[in-house]
A = this chain, B = another copy of it.
């Protein structure tokens, strides 16, 4: 298959670029020790003891493993008394210069010397800009195991080009703590500006999409707009990219299919020539509403609001038709692996899998979609083909689909094996064992209040003393929403919302439900001025949302489906 993919080959091989800021600073520092250095230049002290630093190291290492996510845990910095308190932004801007700054007190190494240090026995060295770092201690504490060794003996720049959320104060600070030298002959330029940058061909996005991260691009629409339309407009549909958006020429596109009695390659036109099937399905990120869960205790991941979900009509060929044509037989032990055209720096594609039983079930409605709300897929949504797995967590709805494999095992991708899984609230990064937990497939029941928004000033209907509340509700596995209950008095009284939903049989009810409720506001509440509204949904298996996040907290902040609670002001 000939795809025009963003290239980082030069970055990986050459290690002669740095990508992420335009500045090229050569200001040197004094020679009286690293800690003092930093205080002089950045006007703040490195917080914490060595053990705290190691904790951050673990977080950083986890951040590398799970690197396409924000590190949402923030640290309070200890500042020297009497000094001007710099802002977080100022501190971070300074920290971003360190790795492009020669430290004269440290020795200089050639690239081939760094390359020798590519395993724990010889120490693990990496370079970043013109800095040389010994991260052996990180590697040992690395929750993701060997992942960190991908950069051993070479540059982390290309990885961080993808996983830009490493560019936080905490991570930069940590890294500089492991600095052991300067890289010889390093010319620092801005890789962003180069044609070959993996980010140089990102599509234009709607101005209203609010990014949770820019590279990779992850963004949600304003939640206040979300319940306005049953079908979410394509350009306001949340975007969840794990890697740079590939550039695919539809004429060159090929979809490889392995499994069954024969292998096959389909062109886009051949997929379109198959019987066309449409399904209304909400797609929801496993981390939707993470920003609420992280308030209980910090979690790792993009800080999504309640907008990492959208509802669309998807059209394309049925996967079950394609697999049956291939001669694939039902086998409940098997899986179907999907691979995208989006590649990580080691040229591994994004990948995920679902059970073969779901793929073959005509009621499963898995389709090779080339249309979203009757328009061709946009690049951000998987052009030319995205597999839509209705009722299943967004991560399995692989975009830029280029390969389908019927296999004995689940996808061995990072995202199937070491991410998108649930854990007990007491499981932490020291005790987590991803192999012990099941990959998320169907999602649990959830709901959210879209209007009014938190802090809104809400007018009470004069005639009847009510306020109007609107939102969405959805459950995975095709389970219909059967009821949404609202309260504005902490559950003393519940009010059943009116539902707007597609008429589909249960088990195949993949679209979301919008709902509207009118809640009475008491005289006392009007006087108090503040009201907290709670929403909870019930699905056709009569599963309900849990009341609060405390007991469903998990270290990755997924499955955040507790009651949605919104405080508003009554006027």
Residue ID in chain B nearest A392 by CB atoms: B541
A550–B357 Cα distance when bound, in Å, is 38
A100–B458 Cα distance when bound, in Å, is 63
Shortest CB distance A522–B (Å): 15
Given A355-B505, A505-B332, CB of A547 within 8 Å of CB of B551: yes
A485–B437 Cα distance when bound, in Å, is 13
Shortest CB distance A142–B (Å): 23
Which B residues are in CB contact (< 8 Å) with A475? 541
Q: Which interface residue of A357, A440, A475, A506 has the most chain B CB atoms within 10 A?
A: A506
A470-515 interface (Cβ within 8 A of B)? 475-477, 479-480, 482-483, 485, 491, 493-496, 505-508
> Which of A160-168, A252-260, A367-375, A442-450 faces chain B?
A442-450
A425 is an interface residue with CB less than 8 A from chain B: yes
Which B residues are in CB contact (< 8 Å) with A358? 507
Which B residues are in CB contact (< 8 Å) with A422? 482-483, 538, 542
Chain A contact-residue range equals: 35 or more
Contact in complex: B333, A505 (CB < 8 Å)? yes
A427–B491 Cα distance when bound, in Å, is 13
Contact in complex: B550, A491 (CB < 8 Å)? yes
Contact in complex: A444, B542 (CB < 8 Å)? yes
A363–B541 Cα distance when bound, in Å, is 17
For the residues of A in contact with B, the DSSP-based class is loop
A101 is an interface residue with CB less than 8 A from chain B: no
Contact in complex: B508, A536 (CB < 8 Å)? no
Which B residues are in CB contact (< 8 Å) with A65? none
A559–B538 Cα distance when bound, in Å, is 11
Shortest CB distance A431–B (Å): 10
Which B residues are in CB contact (< 8 Å) with A438? 480, 482, 506, 540
A543 is an interface residue with CB less than 8 A from chain B: yes
Contact in complex: A477, B355 (CB < 8 Å)? no
A449–B303 Cα distance when bound, in Å, is 36
| 26 examples of A-B residue contacts, CB within 8 angstroms | A355-B506, A357-B505, A424-B494, A424-B495, A424-B496, A425-B485, A425-B494, A426-B495, A438-B540, A440-B542, A441-B540, A443-B541, A444-B542, A444-B543, A445-B543, A476-B541, A477-B479, A477-B541, A479-B541, A491-B550, A491-B551, A494-B551, A536-B551, A544-B551, A545-B546, A547-B548
Binding site for B on A (CB under 8 A): 332-333, 355, 357-358, 363, 422, 424-427, 437-438, 440-445, 475-477, 479-480, 482-483, 485, 491, 493-496, 505-508, 536, 538, 540-548, 550-552, 559
